[in-house]
């Protein structure tokens, strides 16, 4: 392809991303400074190469999956993050009341709002992730918040109503035993240790130990089992895109986003920001996934944005680059 054809493909991709309408030759005459006939010939050439497709309703062209891939790999220019976007992200990143792991999730929620795509943060449990502390914060006589903290700074809160047959004092007493016996335990080992080591110790000191144990089982279950390593931002944002204007397409995407095992396959160890279009992403043939790994204080994970193939690639890449650079500095 010559330079003019490269520029033509870039313009068609970027115009279609914004307008969701087939691009005709007349609309590009001024930008390319050549005749409509020349542009039509170049469009035909790009179509023969498989980079453009012709719709049935218009003489204009739209990018093919191969066209998007060529654009992302060869023509896209990463844009600058705007001052407005920086301010939104920095408001979260500079909040001293947030541990950085929570700040990452909130930043991905902001990126989801900025782009109108779905953001995913996948945490990776490693052998270095251990329990640092459990605390009980009373709200009133019958309501408490259990706070679980790991050595990597991740915090999980669970608000619970205390059953009538136990008191807050018993919960606090059990919490002291758990901190004494479980601190430093791998997250993956907590469940079995609760059952076989902590339960007998609590049973010897607390009469209604079954109710107390259920309270802590629930708290740790939220932390270690209930998909706490998968976080979404703007989970349904992708459904706002024109590609999802039919009930069957909406149901299909919702089903995939609800399939946590499928979502976890988005995980990556690659430190670079990579773009997976259509069949490449192994999640859904009709979407693009842009993702990268991150490493924070020994805790690893994946940052990913899911959108239509007609995605603002330059915007997503620049925002992920900014966030990744900040958290790994």
Domain CATH code at residue 209: 3.30.390
CATH number of the domain that residue 242 is part of: 3.30.450.40
Which tokens belong to 152? 């990597």
25 plus 142 within the same structural domain: no
CATH code of 61's domain: 1.10.10.10
Residue 226's pLDDT is what?
43
Give residues with Cβ within 8 angstroms of 12, minimum separation 6: 23, 28, 43, 46, 52, 61, 62, 63, 67
Same-domain status, 119 and 162 = no
Q: Which of 177, 201, 224 is the last residue of a domain?
A: 224
Provide the number of structural domains found in the chain: 3
Indicate if 118 and 135 belong to the same structural domain: no
pLDDT given at position 60: 86
Together in a domain, 141 and 58: no
**234 shares its domain with 320:** yes
Please indicate, yes or no, whether residues 58 and 97 belong to a single structural domain of this protein.
no
Element (H, E) at 249: helix 247-258
Q: Which of 181, 196, 224 is the last residue of a domain?
A: 224
> Would you put residue 153 in left (φ > 0), alpha (ψ -120 to 50) or beta?
left
Residues 91 and 218 in one domain: no
> Which of 58, 75, 92 represents a domain boundary (last residue)?
75
Are 25 and 65 in a shared domain?
A: yes
219 in the same domain as 142:
yes
Instruction: Specify whether 309 is located in the same domain as 181.
Output: no
**Domain carrying residue 288:** 83-125+229-327
Q: Give the residue from 182, 174, 175 showing the smallest Cα distance to 208.
A: 174
Please give the chain's pLDDT, 329 residues, in tens. Answer: 899 999 999 999 999 999 999 999 999 998 999 999 999 999 999 999 999 998 776 678 999 999 999 999 999 988 899 999 999 999 998 888 777 778 888 999 999 999 999 999 997 655 567 889 999 998 887 888 888 888 877 777 778 888 888 888 888 889 999 999 999 888 778 888 888 889 998 988 888 888 888 888 877 776 654 445 788 999 999 999 999 999 999 999 999 999 988 998 999 989 999 999 999 998 999 999 999 998 876 668 899 999 999 999 999 999 999 999 988 87
Mention every residue, 6+ apart, whose C-beta is less than 8 A from residue 211.
163, 165, 166
Partners of 1 in the β-ladder: none
Q: Tell me: do 149 and 113 sit in the same domain.
A: no
Note the pLDDT of residue 222. Answer: 63
């Amino acid at each position: 392809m010559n330079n003019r054809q490269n520029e033509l493909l870039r313009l068609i991709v970027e115009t279609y991303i914004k307008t969701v309408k087939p691009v005709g030759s007349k609309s590009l005459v001024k930008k390319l400074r050549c005749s409509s006939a020349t542009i039509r010939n170049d469009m035909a050439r790009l179509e023969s190469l498989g980079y453009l497709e012709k719709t049935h309703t218009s003489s204009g062209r739209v990018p093919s999956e191969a066209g998007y891939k060529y654009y992302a790999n060869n023509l896209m220019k990463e844009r600058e993050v705007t001052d407005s976007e920086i301010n939104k992200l920095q408001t979260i990143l500079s909040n001293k009341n947030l541990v950085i792991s929570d700040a990452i999730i909130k930043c991905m929620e902001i990126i989801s709002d900025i782009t109108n795509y779905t953001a995913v943060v996948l945490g990776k449990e490693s052998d270095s992730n251990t329990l640092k502390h459990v605390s009980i914060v009373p709200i009133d006589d019958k309501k408490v918040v259990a706070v679980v903290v790991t050595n990597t700074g991740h915090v999980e809160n669970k608000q619970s109503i205390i059953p009538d047959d136990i008191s807050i004092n018993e919960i606090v007493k059990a919490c002291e035993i758990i901190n004494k016996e479980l601190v430093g335990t791998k997250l993956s080992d907590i469940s079995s240790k609760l059952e076989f080591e902590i339960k007998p110790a609590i049973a010897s000191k607390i009469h209604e130990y079954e109710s107390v144990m259920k309270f802590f089982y629930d708290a740790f279950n939220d932390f270690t089992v209930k998909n706490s390593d998968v976080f979404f931002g703007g989970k349904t944002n992708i459904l706002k895109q024109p590609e999802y204007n039919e009930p069957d397409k909406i149901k299909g995407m919702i089903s995939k986003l609800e399939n946590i095992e499928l979502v976890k396959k988005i995980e990556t160890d690659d430190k670079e920001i990579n773009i997976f279009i259509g069949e490449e992403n192994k999640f859904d043939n009709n979407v693009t996934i842009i993702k990268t790994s991150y490493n924070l204080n020994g805790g690893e994970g994946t940052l990913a944005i899911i959108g239509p193939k007609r995605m603002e690639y330059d915007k997503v890449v620049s925002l992920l680059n900014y966030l990744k650079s900040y958290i790994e500095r």
